[in-house]
Chains A and B, each alone.
Chain A
Amino acid sequence: MPFRPGMSFRIEQRREMFRGLLYLSPVLAVAMTVLTGFVLFAAMGHDPVLALYHFGISPLLSLYGVSELLVKAAPLIMIGVGLAVGFRANVWNIGAEGQLTCGAIAAGVVALAFWEQEGVWVLPLMCLAGAFGGMAYAAIPAFLKTRFDVNEILTSLMLTYVATLFLGTLVYGPLKDPAGFNFPQSRMFTESALLPIVLAGTRLHFGAIIALMIAVAVWVLMTFTIIGFQIRVLGQAPAAARYAGFHRKRLIWTCLLMSGGFAGLAGTFEIAGPIGQLIPSITPGYGFTAIIVAFLGRLHPLGIVLSGLVVALSYIGGENAQVEVGLPQAVTGVFQGLLLFFLLASDFLVRYRIRLVGAVAG
């Protein structure tokens, strides 16, 4: 129908929706992003094939490249899987960044307390402390939400900044390396406090393997257990959940503690893995990026493994493209933005359609 004055676009829900398309839309979004990238690179005067090759393919062609991808994706996957459980139940933990930091602090304190001490128990103790640190920090929004009905989005987000400043206070103060010229960083952890390397000559640590195991475990939990069922019902039909007698508060606690614990463990793996000490900022925003990862992965634990890898690739590919073809760093952000935009657009178009209609009287 040709567009004439007085006509308007109307958005209406599709009568028939193919569930399969919802799972296909991330694939579509990736394809559209690559296509747009092609045009973008060409417009910038770069060889688009070469640029895309260095952005998306060449980082995957060496064993070292793949190991780096896993190292970068591990915290995103772990945090994303935990957050997705909450998101399914309409529990919006936005503060994984802070829970990660608190977990790292707790684990770091353990590592430094047993500095230069041999013992196979140091690392497990750090993991326990890290997970507990993250859970304890997530318990604050959980308590405020269940006791006073305070919005967990606000509390968890704002507590992130508190955690970062607390970490700063520690590394500028009591945890500062005595031989470190007063620079804000702790001692380097000793052998017992470092994660074993899975692949010699790379930084692929055991934590990355655990991240994958956690994704599988959460998938089992969500698919085959009563608690998983309850969480899903709470999100999709709160009234039905109440009618069925599910304990809403207990489920909220479960969701927040689980996501906080995984985030804390992710922080532990960062400091016991690639970083090897406490520094003023443990994470370049993993806790926030994991929110994108969770949605890109359709809030499905196994989908999140894939989306975590894709997002990690966008970071590593961005660096690679800077080194190899001289693309500006902003391309990374543009790519991630495009990806999210196309994902939301395809999600929307799967559910709704846009129709051109005639002028509405009145």
Chain B
Amino acid sequence: MKITATRRNFVLGSAAAAGALGLVGPRAFAAEPLKVGFVYVGPIGDFGWTHGHDQGRKAIEAHFGDKVKTTFVENVAEGPDAERVIRQLASSGHGLVFSTSFGFMNPTLRVAKQFPKVKFEHATGYQTAPNLSVYNARFHEGRVVCGTIAGHVTKSGVVGYIGSFPIPEVVMGINAFTLAARKIRPDIKVKVVWANSWYDPGKEGDGAKALVDQGADIMCQHTDSPAPLQVAETRGIHGFGQASDMKAFAPNAQLTAILDVWDGYYIQRTQDVLDDTWKSQSIWWGLKEGMVKMAPYGPAVPENVRQEADAARDGIISGARHPFIGPIKDQKGVLRVAEGEILSEKEIATMDWYVEGVEA
């Protein structure tokens, strides 16, 4: 129980009461701002994934002003610590909690059961509950645009790819990229190095250097720091930014970047809680809905390639093009998707095999 009564800047009233009882609705007093909490897996200064979510948090503040108050906890380890942090946000009067990493799924689910009146939003998971929604972006759609550009820009035909963990989201990105790149140039090889971390600039950079030494002249990444792209810049090759525009770190090397744009979704869900119309849902939005966007092309992308990249993006938005349309062969050369067939949403979401051309 909180016992600070004398501090002006400490909200005592209902928030502390809610914290103490744990079950009282967070919006018992209408005049009080809605507290929105964020749990981040990395530091807000990663300039990638967590940075993107923090932009979303700031967008909520800018949009709603005094009506909301946001809190965040950064660098939360995936595991037992996450549950404590999420629970603390829920018990300290937060009405809406976003937990933004896959490893927060079971902890979020457990806390959601204990706090039925608090709304939870978990990014990239698959477990839902009456007060727990999941949301994710179709990052792999952006990979199609990257792959198209890479297919034209590469000279050596070797692409380096820094992966975090071989979970479906990362695997589908590698595959979507490789398919698009090989559509332009069928002999392209994609070499993957696993960092086994979402954010470890040292490891990411070392992996990138090793890949450049193996002949890669395009650098892709599914980790959160700009380190691989910085290696690309210093080694004079090209690459793609991840989650945020990383142009500042690699003005010459960055061809484009896949941008995660959470602003619209976060504002919408906050509005839903304020209006009391929030409902549990499961969404997976991409280029079409604007949750994934492409950064402006870098100087190394020629005009004709820009047009093709635009066409790839517009094709996905209109539905004329699909990232996973057959024929698709796996690493062993076995035909996995027949000519003209399209992988189902579920098959994409649980992908655990690599397409031909991937060396992982």
Contact = CB atoms under 8 A, between A and B. Distances in A.
Interface of A: 47, 50, 53, 58, 61-62, 64, 68, 71-72, 164-165, 168, 172, 181-185, 188, 203, 270, 273-277, 279-284, 315-316, 319-320, 322-324, 326, 328-329
Contacts of B91: 64
Contact of A270 (B10, B80, B126): B80
**Contact size class for B?**
35 or more
B126 A181 contact: yes
A71 B10 contact: no
B308 interface: no
A206 to B, nearest CB: 15
Nearest to B349: A181
A347 B77 CA distance: 32
A322 B349 contact: no
Nearest to A328: B74
A59 to B, nearest CB: 9
Given A183-B102, A184-B167, A281-B78, A61 B88 contact: no
B105 to A, nearest CB: 8
A282 B352 CA distance: 23
Given A50-B4, A181-B126, A274-B83, 4 more contacts: A50-B9, A184-B167, A319-B76, A323-B92
B14 to A, nearest CB: 16
Interface string B24-48: 0000000000000100000100000
21 contacts: A50-B10, A58-B4, A61-B1, A72-B80, A165-B196, A181-B168, A183-B126, A183-B167, A183-B168, A185-B106, A188-B106, A276-B106, A280-B196, A281-B79, A283-B79, A316-B84, A319-B73, A320-B88, A322-B71, A322-B72, A329-B73
A164 B74 CA distance: 23
B2 interface: yes
B81 A277 contact: no
A321 B89 CA distance: 12
Contacts of A185: 106
Interface in B62-76: 71-76
A172 B170 CA distance: 13
Interface string B180-211: 00000000000000001000000000000000
Interface in B130-149: none
Given A47-B7, A181-B350, A284-B79, A323 B71 contact: yes
Contact of A184 (B71, B88, B165, B351): B165
A281 B77 CA distance: 9
Contacts of B167: 182-184
A203 B1 CA distance: 17
Closest 7 CB pairs of A and B: A274-B80, A284-B77, A182-B352, A182-B350, A329-B74, A322-B73, A329-B75
B116 interface: no
B7 A50 contact: yes
Interface string B148-179: 00000000000000000111100000000000
B110 to A, nearest CB: 9
A328 B75 CA distance: 10
A47 to B, nearest CB: 7
A61 B72 CA distance: 22
Nearest to B171: A182
Given A181-B168, A320-B88, A324-B92, A315 B349 contact: no
A64 B83 CA distance: 13
